[in-house]
């Protein structure tokens, strides 16, 4: 039986963590993505049950009341994101390790709840200016939402030191490789206990 582990990938919106997380999933077959619930609108190419469980605010609140989340956050005003407890059981039952792509506060909450079997990695950007460019290039948010994400990013960068590792994403390929190395080492260490 494998020791069940968690990889927590956090960092500002636009830091490249979703790209890095997809790379990790393609390189490490023992890793499975934790599908979060969100109340935000679905974007082009996204799929319900693959990228997120897209649910209404009403359904989200009912899940909070039923204590179905291991953590949840109002990441942006009136936009909720959360990790279901059932998601963790589902993946561990498949005998896989879990990968979370999650905001900074949620990431720290998970680390607190699972201190011994989790690895937390913060993906850092070297400048907010570059982050703005990436968010504009991504073309999924309007100006107002981009500013909201940038303001949040400035605050989030201050939490970096609370993570096990910080990876600076200047060169995406280099960042992908650094993260993969850390994750492989972590999941293969003491894995037969």
Binding site for ligand 5GP (CB under 6 A): 13, 36, 40, 71, 73, 75, 81-83, 101-103, 106
The 3-state DSSP class for residue 75 equals strand
CB-wise, 132 or 192, nearer to ligand 5GP?
A: 132
| H-helix or E-strand spanning residue 171 | none
Minimum Å distance from CB 156 to ligand 5GP?
A: 8
Task: Please state, in angstroms and rounded to a whole number, the distance separating the CA atoms of residues 35 and 134.
Answer: 24
Cβ-based nearer residue to ligand 5GP, 14 or 96: 14
Task: State in angstroms the smallest separation of the CB of 171 from ligand 5GP.
Answer: 21
User: What residue number has its CB nearest to ligand 5GP?
Assistant: 106
Q: CB of residue 73 vs ligand 5GP: minimum separation in angstroms?
A: 4
Cβ-contact 192, 39 below 8 angstroms: no
Q: Which is closer to ligand 5GP, CB of 40 or CB of 162?
A: 40
Nearer to ligand 5GP, 144 or 193 (CB): 144
Least distance to ligand 5GP, CB of residue 101, Å? 5
Residue 50 near residue 10 (C-beta atoms within 8 A): no
Closer of 52 and 186 to ligand 5GP (Cβ)? 52
Nearest distance from C-beta of residue 127 to ligand 5GP, angstroms:
18
């Amino acid at each position: 039986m494998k020791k069940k582990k968690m990889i927590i990938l956090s960092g500002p919106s636009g830091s490249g963590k979703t790209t890095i997380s997809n790379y990790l999933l393609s390189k490490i077959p023992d890793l499975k993505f934790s599908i979060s619930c969100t109340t935000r609108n679905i974007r082009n190419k996204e799929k319900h049950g693959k990228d997120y469980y897209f649910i209404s605010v009403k359904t989200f609140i009912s899940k909070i009341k039923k204590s179905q989340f291991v953590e949840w956050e109002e990441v942006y005003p009136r936009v909720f994101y959360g990790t279901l407890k059932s998601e963790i059981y589902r993946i561990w039952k498949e005998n896989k390790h879990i990968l979370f792509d999650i905001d900074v506060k949620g990431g720290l909450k998970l680390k607190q709840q699972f201190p011994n079997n989790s690895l937390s990695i913060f993906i850092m950007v070297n400048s907010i200016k570059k982050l703005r460019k990436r968010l504009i290039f991504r073309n999924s948010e309007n100006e107002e939402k981009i500013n909201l994400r940038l303001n949040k990013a400035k605050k989030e960068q201050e939490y970096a030191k609370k993570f096990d590792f910080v990876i600076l994403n200047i060169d995406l390929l280099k960042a992908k490789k650094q993260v993969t190395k850390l994750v492989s080492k972590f999941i293969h260490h003491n894995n037969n206990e």
